[in-house]
């Protein structure tokens, strides 16, 4: 194969490899010979390939720092096995004791972690050390602390900070983060008198304040007067169509448009659906969808999910039209344990009274196809979808190196060999 490849121009080979539909196939090609590997790990080639082929879904990351790879018969099972071999989801390569790092968010093959041992209460709030990691390449970038002067610019003299939450920001559709090594992290800080967002860009390496709003501009005074001092007002975070949403203690939602970087109250979701822990999803054509269980709380046994789509931009529940129920396999009880806007994660078990042998399914909102991903004896704590290209496809690190290059390449090579063996 290698001798024949030398007779074919490299640009023609690249065009052929671009048409491989599965990134796992490209990984196998990369492991075939040095010529193919050099072509398929070229940065310009990979940039073109990623535009044509989204990274495959490989499994779930556990809050307890474990990777649960997709299992047979899931189509990503071979690539997931290779990643499980090559990656380090215990994050042992991070500085300071590994046990002090806590997973905060997972997106685009990167994991955001917080160092509990660095917890510090200052006059301007509670901030800790953050690290953005690439577990596949075992590399990391420690983020700088939020400067005191920047925090003071939000509110001086400061009011007590009740809660702060860091999370990764999805790239914009316009390609704002087109460079594959770029990323953004936000701190959403909940003060006693206002909300504020601190925004970190890897392109500048600096924090900035991108949005702040007084609670009094969002809620009536009589509502805020009922809030217990120090209580957390914002609850669950969701992301749909370029906006983050948080459920409040009053069963309405605060929206943060990351394009405009503006906070606002949104009431397009009926209160009763918010109370039922409904998932917000992207229904296509810019429309919002809602998926919620038949029952109000806990597990539902052998019952369907309800799916409704907002037909236009009108106000009120009359603009929501119920779709066909989403059928749950008979004999299972389920719990909605995660969502990404385009996918819903369901935890299921056949045991009616004993929570054993958990099975995890991913529901594609666009096709309403439910696919079994994996199972776990002890369950997955707050599962988050992990997508990435299989070993040997990343020619350069997505974050700064925290491990010797030779050791990384050796483990990626082992993963590529797994993919090669799967195709034999």
* pLDDT grade for 345, boundaries at 50, 70 and 90: very high
Predicted pLDDT at 3:
52
Predicted pLDDT at 395:
43
The alpha carbon of residue 120 and the mean position of all alpha carbons in its chain are separated, in whole angstroms, by: 26
pLDDT in tens, 89-119: 999 988 877 678 899 999 988 999 988 777 6
- Cβ(328)–Cβ(303) below 8 Å: yes
Predicted pLDDT at 70:
95
Quick one: angle between helices 405-423 and 23-30, nearest 10? 110
pTM for this prediction: 0.83
Q: How far is residue 409's CA from residue 323's CA, in Å, rounded to a whole number?
A: 49
For the sheet with 287-293, list strands across it. Answer: 279-284, 287-293, 305-310, 320-322
The chain-wide mean pLDDT, for the chain, equals: 78
Least confident of 140-149, 339-348, 399-408, 414-423: 399-408
- Cβ(284)–Cβ(344) below 8 Å: no
Residue 355 has pLDDT above 50, yes or no: yes
* pLDDT grade for 39, boundaries at 50, 70 and 90: confident
Burial (Cβ within 10 Å: 0-12, 13-18, ≥19) of residue 351: exposed
* pLDDT grade for 259, boundaries at 50, 70 and 90: confident
SS3 358: strand
CB atoms within 10 A of CB 238: 17
Q: Which residue has the higher pLDDT, 66 or 160?
A: 66
Predicted pLDDT at 112:
95
Query: What percent of the chain clears pLDDT 70, i.e. is strictly above it?
Result: 74
Predicted pLDDT at 66:
92
Query: What percent of the chain clears pLDDT 90, i.e. is strictly above it?
Result: 17
Q: How far is residue 115's CA from residue 102's CA, in Å, rounded to a whole number?
A: 6
Predicted pLDDT at 175:
46
Predicted pLDDT at 24:
75
Cα atoms in the Cβ-side hemisphere of radius 13 Å centred on 250: 15
Instruction: Of 79, 38, 64, give the one whose Cα is nearest residue 388.
Output: 79
Q: How far is residue 176's CA from residue 161's CA, in Å, rounded to a whole number?
A: 31
Predicted pLDDT at 417:
61
Backbone angles phi, psi at 76, to 5 degrees: -90, 5
Predicted pLDDT at 353:
54
Predicted pLDDT at 274:
67
Predicted pLDDT at 287:
85
Backbone angles phi, psi at 276, to 5 degrees: -90, 15
Query: Could you tell me whether strands 243-248 and 253-257 are parallel, antiparallel, or unpaired per DSSP bridges?
Result: antiparallel
């Amino acid at each position: 194969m290698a001798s024949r490849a030398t007779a074919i121009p490299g640009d023609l080979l690249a065009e052929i490899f671009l048409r491989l539909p599965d990134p796992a196939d490209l990984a196998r090609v990369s492991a075939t010979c040095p010529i193919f590997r050099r072509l398929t790990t070229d940065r310009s080639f990979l940039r073109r390939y990623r535009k044509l082929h989204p990274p495959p879904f490989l499994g779930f990351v556990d809050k307890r720092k474990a990777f649960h790879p997709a299992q047979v018969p899931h189509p990503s099972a071979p690539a997931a096995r290779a990643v499980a071999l090559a990656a380090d989801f215990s994050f042992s390569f991070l500085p300071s004791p590994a046990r002090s790092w806590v997973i905060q968010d997972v997106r685009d093959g990167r994991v955001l972690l917080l160092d509990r041992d660095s917890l510090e209460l200052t006059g301007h709030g509670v901030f800790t050390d953050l690290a953005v990691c690439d577990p596949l390449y075992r590399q990391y970038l420690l983020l700088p602390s939020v400067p005191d002067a920047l925090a003071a610019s939000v509110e001086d003299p400061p009011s007590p900070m009740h809660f702060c939450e860091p999370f990764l920001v999805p790239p914009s559709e316009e390609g704002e983060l087109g460079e594959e090594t770029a990323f953004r992290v936000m701190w959403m800080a909940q003060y006693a008198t206002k909300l504020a967002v601190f925004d970190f860009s890897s392109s500048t390496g600096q924090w900035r304040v991108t949005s702040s709003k007084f609670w009094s501009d969002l809620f009536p005074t009589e509502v805020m007067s009922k809030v217990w001092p120090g209580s957390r007002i914002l609850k669950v975070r969701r992301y749909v169509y370029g906006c983050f949403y948080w459920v409040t203690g009053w069963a309405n939602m605060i929206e943060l448009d990351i394009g405009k970087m503006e906070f606002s109250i949104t009431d397009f979701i009926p209160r009763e659906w918010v109370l039922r822990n409904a998932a917000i999803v992207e229904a296509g054509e810019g429309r919002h969808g809602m998926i919620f269980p038949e029952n109000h709380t806990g597990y539902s046994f052998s019952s369907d999910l309800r799916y409704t789509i907002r037909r236009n931009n009108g106000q009120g529940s009359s603009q929501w039209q119920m779709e066909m129920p989403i059928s749950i396999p008979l004999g299972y009880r389920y719990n909605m344990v995660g969502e990404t806007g385009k996918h819903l994660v369901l935890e299921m078990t056949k045991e009616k009274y004993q929570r054993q042998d958990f099975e995890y399914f991913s529901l594609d909102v666009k096709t309403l196809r439910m696919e079994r991903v994996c199972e776990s004896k002890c369950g997955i704590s707050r599962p988050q979808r992990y997508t990435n290209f299989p070993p040997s496809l990343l020619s350069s690190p997505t974050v700064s190196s925290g491990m010797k290059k030779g050791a990384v390449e050796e483990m990626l090579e082992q993963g590529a060999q797994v993919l090669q063996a799967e195709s034999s």
